[in-house]
A and B are shown apart, each in its own frame.
Chain A
Amino acid sequence: MSVHSLDPVFHPRAVAVVGVSSNPNPTGMGSFYASLLEAGFADRGGLYPVNPKVNEINGARCYPTLMDTPDPVDHVISQVPAGFVPELVDQCIAKKVRSIHFFTAGFSETGDQEMAVVERQMIEKLRDAGIRAIGPNCMGLYVPGSKLAFMGGFPMESGNVFLLSQSGANAGEVVRDLTNRGVRFSKVVSYGNGADLRAHDFLDYAAQDEESAVVAAYIEGVQDGRKFFEALQRCARVKPVIVLKGGRTRSGSQAAHSHTGSLAGSIEIFDAVCRQTGALRAETMDELQDLIVAVSTNIRQVSGRGVALFAGGGGGFAVLSADAIDREGLTVPRMPQSAVDEMREYIPVAGSSVNNPIDAFPPSEYLDDMLRLIATAEGMDMVFMSPLIDRSRWQSPNGKDKNSSSDSQSEAKKVTNLIAGQMKHLQDDTGTPVIGVIRGGGMARMMGVDPDDFLEATYRQGIASFPSVSRAARTVNQLLEWREYRQGLPDLS
């Protein structure tokens, strides 16, 4: 198999951070050196801080210029002010680097014609020398497999999600939020103004990248529309691709222009492009994240729109949940009479409902039977289930439940894992996809289950979970619609 021309960009042998700050704090934006140290890049290859005004950082030698660093340097991160960039470009050419990431901002996104020309000229010069550029005005690369990270606190475990984003902060938010939900990434690239490498380049790379099974993109402006269209078409043929387009409204597109110099374009046509190419369209960050979860879990197996809702929370919650499910395009079919009769054998009529939604708790010896009954009842294409099931069953043997120590925290984690396992077991047993729903705030505290733990524990079992019934229903419906409009394209399910 041939190596893609962008492969070296994601796998540098050595990295120089030019214009490094002397304060190695990995929490802020632009603390690339500290983030790379934390990620352990130095164990993998040369990591060289460069700043003529700094002698050493945390005991490591700081080089006055790029030319003073050992050979080879494959990747350069530029933190120098825009005015120093032309000189750095010359040094990169002399040093024979393979790629350069410009964190440096102040180019075309400012709207200044002169700076747009400077940007174009430096890119042309780099291209002539065979050097690829990411940015300017962006956060660059997070590749756990290569120990590259652009912020602190990113997990170093690799996953199968490829994320490209014009915005570095949005990329960081997706990584952090989805990390909490158990998702891991193969490669993340924030590419800002996209003066050289653009969305279509990364989509082409992602399409053939064996480490990436899911592709997600945050885009503000489409550059080279035809190339983007064709790359999206190629990529979406073979992998689920989720696209969140910023600048959908007039106010949003004005903001996009000053953020990354992007012209946002007609949103109706962009949405049509998603349908035409077979990509999934997200309208918000929540949707983007929910869809990433959906395409990498059991939601891919959902075959219809009927939801059996077993989420507890009382009668009012059941009513509002049924409303939400309906509103988002799914249905809550009535439980067949035979199933109702069977459940009534162990569930009293007063204060409960065994129709759908199910607002009832059986004695614990009947719980498994009841879940199986619900999951296999006619018309139920999936089960929505919250962890609010028979708490007594999961309590620790010594009966301590109100303990506020870390004991009770790890106990809660254990319980959460057991519940996730039970959901997986129910799904395997019945063949009906089981989808988790967990409410935040007071309800979660009352249940003693940490929402993040639940989301992560279920995801690791291949089960999708969502922070609300409406988000769960919306996501399932989007996936079903996606499958419908993909007709005529290769089957990805």
Chain B
Amino acid sequence: MNFESVLHQARAEGRDLLNEVEAKQLLSQAGVPVVETLLATTADQAKRLAGEIGYPVVVKVVSADISHKSDVGGVKVGLANAEAVGEAYEAILANSRQAVPDAVITGVAVQGMAVEGTEIIVGMVRDPQFGPVMMFGLGGIFVELLKDVSFRVLPLTERDAQQMVNDIKGRAILDGVRGQTAVDKAAICKLILNVGVFIEQHPEIQELDMNPVFVYADGAVAVDARIVLSQA
């Protein structure tokens, strides 16, 4: 699966939104660490993929018509064995069909459970004046309530990435407060720079969102990712 084939398929299906599995695979190929996420279209396949990834796993509905997956009962977490995965698969499909009857359901995503880390978000929006602009912030309430985010216009230099990380008001959280260890800022910078290059290479990307990314004392990993294409 490369960018061109994903683009082609999305265009053929009349979609602007890449599904989570597609988005993560493309990002992974671009050097961005993501939680391994694979697509299953049958319960048996879901069980097999869960075994490959390793338990516990998360299972989520994949549908361009359902954006708030947990609201419709489309997400099951902490599944510890194949039986639980099989039940979750059927329940998710039933819940989704009931909540959004005419939704086109691509399948379900089977995803490893990431160890919880400090939540950050990394995204890209297209500014009408400056073009692609990268965004960085702390996740959760920091971004929702306090709008504590930083921006840089693409293309990015290493200086830009470092400054983005240090520009936010809550930067002390990254440096470790109340006895918590500092997170791996270099890993955040590398992730931001790799996303920047990925976007530069693919002008068809209108919007990109990784929320959350977990960052640890060593390394970082994107738990969820969303890519919107520009209209064909």
Contacts and interface: CB of A to CB of B under 8 A. Distances in A.
Contacts of B150: 272
A225 B127 contact: yes
A276 interface: yes
Contact of A272 (B128, B151, B157, B159): B151
Contacts of A275: 163, 167
Contact of B157 (A226, A228, A263, A488): A488
A275 B157 CA distance: 13
Contacts of A266: 127
B130 A229 contact: yes
B129 A272 contact: no
A164 B128 CA distance: 23
A268 interface: yes
Interface residues of A, number: 18
Nearest to B164: A272
B131 interface: yes
Contacts of B131: 225-226
Contacts of B149: 268
B160 A276 contact: yes
Contacts of B133: 269, 272
A222 B163 contact: no
A106 interface: no
A273 B163 contact: no
Contact of B159 (A225, A273, A488): A488
Nearest to A265: B129
19 contacts: A226-B131, A228-B129, A229-B130, A229-B153, A265-B127, A268-B151, A269-B127, A269-B129, A269-B130, A269-B151, A269-B153, A272-B150, A272-B167, A273-B130, A276-B163, A487-B159, A488-B157, A488-B158, A488-B159
A231 to B, nearest CB: 13
Interface string B125-143: 0011111010000000000
Given A268-B149, A269-B129, 20 more contacts: A225-B128, A225-B129, A226-B131, A229-B130, A229-B153, A263-B129, A265-B127, A265-B128, A265-B129, A269-B133, A272-B133, A272-B150, A272-B151, A273-B130, A275-B163, A275-B167, A276-B152, A276-B153, A488-B158, A489-B159
B153 A485 contact: no
Interface of A: 222, 225-226, 228-229, 263, 265-266, 268-269, 272-273, 275-276, 485, 487-489
B89 to A, nearest CB: 42
A487 B130 CA distance: 23
A5 B135 CA distance: 37
Contacts of B157: 488
A484 to B, nearest CB: 10
Contact of B130 (A226, A488, A489): A226
Contacts of B163: 275-276, 485
Nearest to A271: B151
A381 B157 CA distance: 33
Contacts of A222: 129-130
B136 to A, nearest CB: 10
Interface-central residue, B127, B129, B131, by most chain A CB under 10 Å = B129
Going nearest first, the 6 A-B pairs with the smallest beta carbon separation are: A225-B129, A488-B159, A272-B151, A225-B130, A265-B129, A222-B129
Contacts of B129: 222, 225, 228, 263, 265, 269
Contacts of B128: 225, 263, 265
A396 to B, nearest CB: 55
Interface-central residue, A226, A228, A275, A276, by most chain B CB under 10 Å = A276
Interface-central residue, B158, B159, B160, by most chain A CB under 10 Å = B159
A265 B126 CA distance: 12
Interface in B179-207: none
B67 to A, nearest CB: 24
A95 to B, nearest CB: 37
A273 B154 CA distance: 10
B166 to A, nearest CB: 9
Contacts of B130: 222, 225-226, 229, 265, 269, 273
A451 B196 CA distance: 51
A125 to B, nearest CB: 27
Interface-central residue, B149, B150, B153, B160, by most chain A CB under 10 Å = B153
B228 to A, nearest CB: 18
Nearest to B157: A488
Contacts of B158: 488
B208 to A, nearest CB: 16
Contacts of A485: 163
A263 B129 CA distance: 9
A489 B162 CA distance: 14
Contacts of A226: 130-131
A225 B154 CA distance: 12
A365 B17 CA distance: 79
A398 B153 CA distance: 65
B162 to A, nearest CB: 8
B187 to A, nearest CB: 20
B146 to A, nearest CB: 13
Interface-central residue, A265, A268, A487, by most chain B CB under 10 Å = A268
B170 to A, nearest CB: 16
A275 B164 CA distance: 10
A98 B190 CA distance: 50
Contacts of A489: 159
A273 B127 CA distance: 12
